[in-house]
Structure 1
Amino acid sequence: MTNQAVLSASQLSKSFTDGQLKTDVLNNINLTVNRSDRIAIVGSSGSGKSTLLHILGGLDSPTEGQVLVQGKDIHAMKNKAASRLRNQQLGFVYQFHHLLPEFTAVENVAMPLVIGGMSPTSAQERATELLDKVGLAHRFQHKPSELSGGERQRAALARALITEPACLLADEPTGNLDHRTAQGIFDLILKLNEDFGTALVIVTHDTGLAAKMDQQLTLIDGCLAAGA
């Protein structure tokens, strides 16, 4: 059986138009992500790294090109079907945790399963197991305001992985953390990659962290090049 890519982009381009001014951000990008891959994308501020990640995740549309998630063209789908595909196959982690402040850690982590149709009780049982796995067994019932920065990011990571997605897309996941905490979160991401077989595509400005990935790509002048 062939190893079908869990995520692939072909001839991907993105431009923005403001009046008569056209700005090309991405130019003819091709990328293949297979199961368990660890890929880092680095580049200067404003190079389009976040834009690329949002297009790969179906959160923004390309001007040209195609993105396949588990063989399905996410940008050719209707909104409901694309949202379902994202919920089941993709996990997202950002520089800011985006946890919902009125919910506890376990409720936040369970949310993608509940949205996907699982009963809240079953979803929270699964969330409890995963929070334990990321070292937050003592923080199940705490709200985000009661958690440290590193704990919030651990909870956000658990939420991203609760559906056991095919690919985790992370945009500067350690950018708001001190070096020691960032290192701990990054090591946790790599461990969970091993445990779940989830592919990783991480955007980071930290070349030290990028060097720990299996593949480093640099986004420059709208194009992806090998090496960081």
Structure 2
Amino acid sequence: MALSRLASQLFVATATRSLAAPLRGAMGLAVAQSQSLHLVQRSLSQSTRWAAPTKVEQDMAQFLSEEIQTEKKSLKPLDTIDGFKMEKDGADLKLVKEANGEKIIVHLNVNHTVDSAEPDDGTQEAPEMKSKPNFEVEVVKSNGETLSFSCSFIFEQPEQQAEEGFEDVFAIDEVTMFEGENWSEKSYAVAGDILDGYLYDLFMNYLDERGVNASFAEKLSDLSSSYEHSLYINLLESLQQFCKK
């Protein structure tokens, strides 16, 4: 009798599961279809909502139109530095010169390099913006050996420099050597501020002999300023077109 009841219970449980399985499958299919329909409806709603420029985008486009015209009026020509060939790649600039069996290569990036050339005097006129980027100077010998200098502009006021007894426009921050273009983080580099003072002066004279001096640095700043300004205008124009779509 106990065996018969057990068999009966197993039969009922199996039958119940068999009947419940199609029901769960149908319910799951209905839920999935409902979710898919909801996603389609939400997608259509969003595409309809953003199909045309919004009020904010229209305001931005209008402002950018005026701003672009203003910026173009103050854009200066991109003059190269005598003796150097210029290569542009996005925000990167590369200047190359060959002389006396050596190749002089100057690398710089114009991002985040712009500041006011003079302090704001409180007048209505905006102060001129100048780019003073950090730059790398590589002197490559004919055998591929490279002596590299990491340099940066000095932001101290001229009267402060005069009090300290120097008038350098830029400083040597780091010196390193490597083969060809095989620089890596593993290459040893010495900081400029711990170099022997006489050796530091010799390095500055070494760069001066190769045309990298105060005059070059001023021209480099002008070149960087013009190039950065042109990239800024290109960004504004791209942003304006983006707001109109």
TM range (shorter): under 0.3
More helix by share: 2
More strand by share: 1
Larger gyration radius, structure 1 or structure 2: 2
Q: State the TM-score, normalizing by the size of structure 2.
A: 0.21
Higher relative contact order (CA 8 A, sep 6+): 1
Q: State the TM-score, normalizing by the size of structure 1.
A: 0.22
